[in-house]
Amino acid sequence: MIAIIDYGVGNVGSILNMMNYIGIPAIVTKDYSEIRDASKLILPGVGSFDQAITLFNKSGLKELIDEKVNNEATPILGICLGMQMMTQGSAEGELPGLGWFEAKCIKFKFDGTLHGRQKIPHMGWNDITPVNSGTSLFKMIDQELKYYFAHSYHITGAEKYSIATASYGYDFTVAIKNGNKLGVQFHPERSHMFGVNLFKSFSEI
């Protein structure tokens, strides 16, 4: 059973709907026992960094999830802000992140040249390119991979963890992996068959 962590932030309903569509057993929960017994976890997130971290820390689940992820090696997938929370912190706020990845989050900054006049936030469909071991999570459809993005901040300093990149004014990391810990900047629950394939791959880990 995959537990979609409900700490007050994130598109939990959309993620559950996608899981139900695929036929993957999953629940949206903040129940200690259900999360403790889950075989995999999903950490969603939307909104601002400090608000999300504050709600997560107040949920009473942080110690349990740390135990499952860091000591029991339970696979976890962070989505959008959920992935950013796995880092050391973000320029969007002042609070520390979970520190599972030696990386930080910064706001898009463009230089005004032809390829640097993009709008912020980065919103809509974009191609991604798997790198390193990313091919185990991403499956090609007609030789392309497209996912839906909605964000103003992105991860930096995560090159050794990077399993996929995209370009928006410049290249940046959109998916990371460190053992059982995975994160994606985009929204697979809003990415149609590309998202279906990603969730299937995660469920098979």
Range of the domain at 157: 2-204
CA distance 136 to 149: 21
- pLDDT above 70 for 141: no
Instruction: Say whether pLDDT at 137 is over 80.
Output: yes
Domain holding 171: CATH number?
Answer: 3.40.50.880
Is 105 noted as a catalytic residue in this protein? no
Catalytic residue among 80, 92, 122, 154: 80
Residue 37 to residue 200: CA distance in whole angstroms: 20
3-state secondary structure (DSSP) of residue 49: helix
Per the annotation, the verdict on 92 as an active-site residue is no
122, 187, 192, 204: the catalytic one is: 187
67-108 confidence digits (pLDDT tens): 999 999 999 999 999 999 999 999 999 999 999 999 999 999
192 is catalytic: no
- Looking at residue 73, its pLDDT comes to 97
The whole-chain average pLDDT of the chain stands at 93
- Residue range 143-201, pLDDT digits in tens: 789 999 999 999 999 999 999 999 999 999 999 999 999 999 999 999 999 999 999 99
What's the total number of domains in the chain? 1
Q: b/e string for 41-73 if b means 16 or more Cβ within 10 A? A: bbbbbbeebebbbbebeebebeeebeebbeeee
CA–CA gap between residue 162 and residue 14 (Å, rounded): 26
Confidence of residue 116 (pLDDT cuts 50, 70, 90): low
Question: Residue 114 above 70 pLDDT?
Answer: no
Euclidean distance between CA atoms 165 and 162, whole angstroms: 7
| Per-residue pLDDT at 134 | 67
Question: What is the pLDDT, as a whole number, of residue 39?
Answer: 97
Q: pTM score, two decimals?
A: 0.94
